[in-house]
Each structure stands twice: as C-alpha cells, then as structure tokens.
C-alpha cells in the first residue's frame, strides 16, 4: 500500500479544504452567525464543494506552472555546467526501470554513477535529481524518461542532454493518453532525435 506524498501544494489544498469545511461550524459555535445562516453555509459548502476545490486548483495552477518551469530551468543550467557528464537516456513503453537498474549496476563497477530513482521519470523528478544529487564526482547520469504525450521526452532531453539513448520497446500501453500508436512511436523517438 502506497501512502500519499504530501507536497506543499497538496498540503495547502488539504488545509484550505479543511478550513472551508469547518467554517460553518466555527462560525455557529463562536456566535458569529445565526442558526439559519449556519444552515445556509452548510448547504452552500455542501453543494459548492466541488466548485470550491476546482477553483482553488485553478487559482494555484499558474503558481505551480511557474515554479515547475523555474525548477526545470535551474536543472537545465546545472546540467549545462557539466559538459563532461555522460548522460544515458532510457525510454520505452516497458522495461525502462529494469534496464536502468541493470545498466547502473554494471557501470557503477568502474564509474561514479547517478541514476533517477525507481520510477521517477517525469520532468520534476529528473530536475530534482539533477539539482539535489548531481555533484562533481559523478561521471555518468542514467535517466529514465517517461511520457504520456508527444513533446514530453523532448522536454526531458532538453534538460538532461543525453549522449546515449536506449529505446527498450514500444507497445500500445499508453495509447489512450497518446491518442494513437503513431503518436507513441513519435513520442518515444524524441529521445533518438535528441542525440
């Protein structure tokens, strides 16, 4: 069983939802409102809860995008400072993590290797790995690259700048997100095009 990870954004949304839920009760018991307003607030928040949550997500989205793009830019700049670093990108519909783990094990016998952890294959996970874990002693960085639509592998390649690419295989595993088998092929092939 996986426990949810409370990011800052998730914690903020959770606390806001709790505050909004408790507002009618606190208002009534503190004497700020009359009983009929209490009932009105309960109905309003009960019926409007999905709209309130959707609105809070919409309000925080621009900030989330800004901080995500800033993090990606910082990671890209840090990567550019390490021209000597050999980056190996791995993508495909299946076998990415296994290939990465085998390759990291083999190469770590002779080189100082950094790899993305477990299934951390998104732009934020790769950016965080570059920013928090990459240091001057690393000679090789093995990057697992996942995607659900075209353009995502290209973004990861722009950030990590791989010199070697491994395409494990292509299936119709995420066809509902990519839209077609052709889009899956083109999306995964972005790694090859970036080399």
Considering the entire predicted model, what is its pTM? Answer: 0.77
Q: What is the pLDDT of residue 50?
A: 80
Rounded Cα distance between 126 and 90, Å, is 12
Beta strands 113-115 and 140-144, pairing class:
parallel
H helix count then E strand count, the chain: 7, 4
Which of 96, 159, 167, 89 lies closest to 131 in space, CA to CA?
A: 159
Q: What is the pLDDT of residue 175?
A: 85
Q: What is the pLDDT of residue 172?
A: 85
- The residue count of the chain comes to 195
Cβ atoms of 96 and 142 closer than 8 Å: no
| Tens-digit pLDDT string for the chain (195 aa) | 677 777 777 787 788 777 777 777 777 777 777 777 777 777 777 777 788 778 878 888 898 899 999 999 999 999 999 999 999 999 999 999 999 999 999 999 999 999 999 888 999 999 999 999 999 999 999 999 999 899 999 999 999 999 999 999 998 887 888 889 999 999 999 999 999
Q: Estimate the crossing angle of helix 152-160 against helix 181-194, to 10 degrees.
A: 10
Cβ atoms of 150 and 178 closer than 8 Å: yes
Give the long-range contacts of residues 178-185, CB within 8 A, separation 24 or more: 178/148, 178/149, 178/150, 179/149, 183/149, 183/150, 184/93
């Amino acid at each position: 069983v996986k426990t949810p990870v409370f990011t800052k954004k998730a914690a903020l949304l959770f606390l806001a939802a709790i505050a909004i839920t408790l507002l009618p009760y606190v208002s009534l018991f503190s004497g700020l409102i009359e009983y009929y307003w209490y009932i009105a607030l309960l109905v309003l928040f009960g019926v409007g809860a999905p709209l309130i949550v959707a609105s809070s997500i919409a309000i925080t989205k621009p900030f989330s995008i800004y901080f995500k793009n800033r993090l990606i830019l910082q990671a890209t700049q840090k990567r550019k400072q390490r021209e000597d670093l050999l980056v190996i990108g791995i993508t495909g519909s299946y076998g990415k993590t296994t290939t990465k783990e085998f390759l990291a094990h083999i190469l770590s016998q002779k080189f100082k290797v950094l790899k993305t952890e477990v299934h951390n294959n998104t732009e934020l996970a790769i950016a965080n790995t570059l920013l928090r874990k990459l240091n001057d002693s690393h000679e090789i960085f093995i990057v697992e690259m996942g995607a659900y639509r075209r353009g995502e592998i290209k973004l990861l390649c722009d950030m990590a700048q791989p010199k070697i690419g491994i395409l494990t295989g292509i299936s119709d595993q995420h066809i509902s997100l990519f839209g077609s088998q052709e889009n899956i092929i083109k999306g995964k092939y972005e790694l090859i095009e970036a080399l």
